[in-house]
Amino acid sequence: MCAEKSEGALLKAEERLQAALVPRYHDLFVQIGRLEGGVKHLVDMRADTLDLLSSVKDSAELRSFSSCLREMLSHWFSAGLLHLQRITWESSCDILQKISEYEAVHPMRNWSDLKRRVGPYRRCFIFTHSTMPREPMVVLHTALTNQISDNIQTIVSTPILDEEDVDNINTAIFYSITSTQKGLQGVELGNYLIKRVVRELQAEFPKMTQFSSLSPIPGFRDWLVGEINKVLGSTESSSSEDSGVDGPSSTAPTLLTSAELQKVAEIAGKEDVSPLVTLKKLLQTNQWMGAESMVEVLKDPLMRLCARYLYLEKRRGYAVNPVANFHLRNGAVLWRLNWQADTGPRGISQSCGVMVNYRYFLGDTMRNSQRYMEEQHIEASQQVIDLAQAAGGADSP
């Protein structure tokens, strides 16, 4: 009896402590959430908080305020309360217009681009939520193919086909996903939507066996220019008394081999300038794409360095590239790098035209995600591992 009494007293004390630890604004959020338009107001308030956090110095109070909001929003926007909707050319104009306006990965130039995205061999799905009617919370564009795509132009620029041949479809390519509400960052709507769409497509296409993204690699080109600057800086500091051209420093080969640097200089006709300086300029201006011979000589080093950027470059133990981090969190495999996969100006400027397939092996996603989140282990194909190690990066994780 005495033990039960002390057990009860302990539980009561724990409840009182938990209540005391809940910030006062938590109750205010609950009240606001009950009002008409209140949840949307809280989503926008969180977006403002995130903007503040990215602009002012790190504020523990603001961070706690934001995570309290995120916690509440993740309950209100849980998978069971989201409504899946397929968008077709017959969907309402206002929704179609929002799909076009929200597109953040491969912008649509006109209505025919939009019609292609929702036409044959394509599926566009959104999540909506009762508190924000007629507002797509997150948008997923999928191509239906018979192989894992290695080029985005064939997806976003192909002519509109008359009708689908179901027997010619066994693969889903997720080529664009956009979460439209900044205030819902961290609620993982994109993850929910991909998993839900997989189930939807499996029901529509029983022969579908392959699920993969075809993803951009934002930040790779800028990272590479940063790495070149590091080598140039170390070359300058280690050979500051030298006059004339800086030959490849002892660290230069970690980016390109001496033979590759030599060829860059020859093709560019700039043998009197440091090859790395020439390369940096070619990358920053996209001029390297102008000469077939230059494209050829840069293929191996750029593919190696891109694999190193995706597989070995980390921030707090996780992939530094945000798109990689998103798919790896979902349990995808860093599966294949694709050369000249996006030859549009945006693709060349952000990732030297390279794109990547994050492949979803359905039976492994939970384990892969857990290993990534808990051990920072990146599940990758042998192609990626070999390329990353050839780049002379750190030991594989």
Ligand X SMILES: CC(C)(COP(=O)(O)OP(=O)(O)O)[C@@H](O)C(=O)NCCC(N)=O
Chain residues that interact with ligand X, rule: CB under 6 A: 104-105, 177-179, 185-191, 323, 326
Contact 144/171 with Cβ under 8 angstroms?
yes
Using the minimum distance from each CB to ligand X, give the nearer residue, 216 or 301: 216
Distance CA 25, CA 64 (A): 11
If the CB atoms of residues 259 and 362 are measured against ligand X, the closer one turns out to be 362
Tell me whether residue 190 or residue 393 sits nearer to ligand X (CB atom): 190
Nearest distance from C-beta of residue 326 to ligand X, angstroms: 5
Residue 395 to residues 46, 308, 345, 362: CA-CA distances in angstroms?
Answer: 39, 11, 34, 29
To the query of whether residue 215 is one of the catalytic residues in this protein, the response is yes
Residue nearest to ligand X (CB): 190
- The number of helices, as runs of H, and strands, as runs of E, in the chain is 16, 9
Classified as helix, coil or strand, 226 is: helix
- Residue 395: count of CB within 10 angstroms of its CB: 6
Active site residue 327: yes
In the complex, the smallest distance separating the C-beta of residue 163 from ligand X, rounded to whole angstroms, is: 29
* Cβ nearer to ligand X, comparing 214 with 255: 214
Distance CA 171, CA 63 (A): 41
Given 249, 327, 351, 369, the catalytic residue? 327
Tell me which of 66, 176, 179, 215 is the catalytic residue. 215
Instruction: Give me the amino acid identity at 174.
Output: F
Q: How far apart are CA 203 and CA 141, in angstroms?
A: 18
Over its C-alpha atoms, the chain yields an Rg (Å, rounded) of: 25
Residue by residue, DSSP assigns 1-70 as -HHHHHHHHHHHHHHHHHHHHS-HHHHHHHHHHTSTTHHHHHHHHHHHHHHHHHHSSP-HHHHHHHHHHH
Q: Would you say 47 or 385 has its CB closer to ligand X?
A: 47
User: Quick one: 191 or 338, whose CB is closer to ligand X?
Assistant: 191
Scanning the structure block, which residue is given the tokens 């001029």? 287
Q: How far is the CB of 302 from ligand X (least distance, A)?
A: 21
- Min dist. Cβ of residue 2 to ligand X (A): 49
Q: Using CA atoms, how far apart are residues 92 and 272, in angstroms rounded to an integer?
A: 61
Q: Which is nearer to ligand X, 128 or 234 (CB)?
A: 128
Q: Helix 365-375 to helix 322-330 angle, to the nearest 10 degrees?
A: 120
Determine the Cα–Cα distance for residues 227 and 305; give it in Å rounded to an integer. Answer: 10
What residues act catalytically? 215, 327
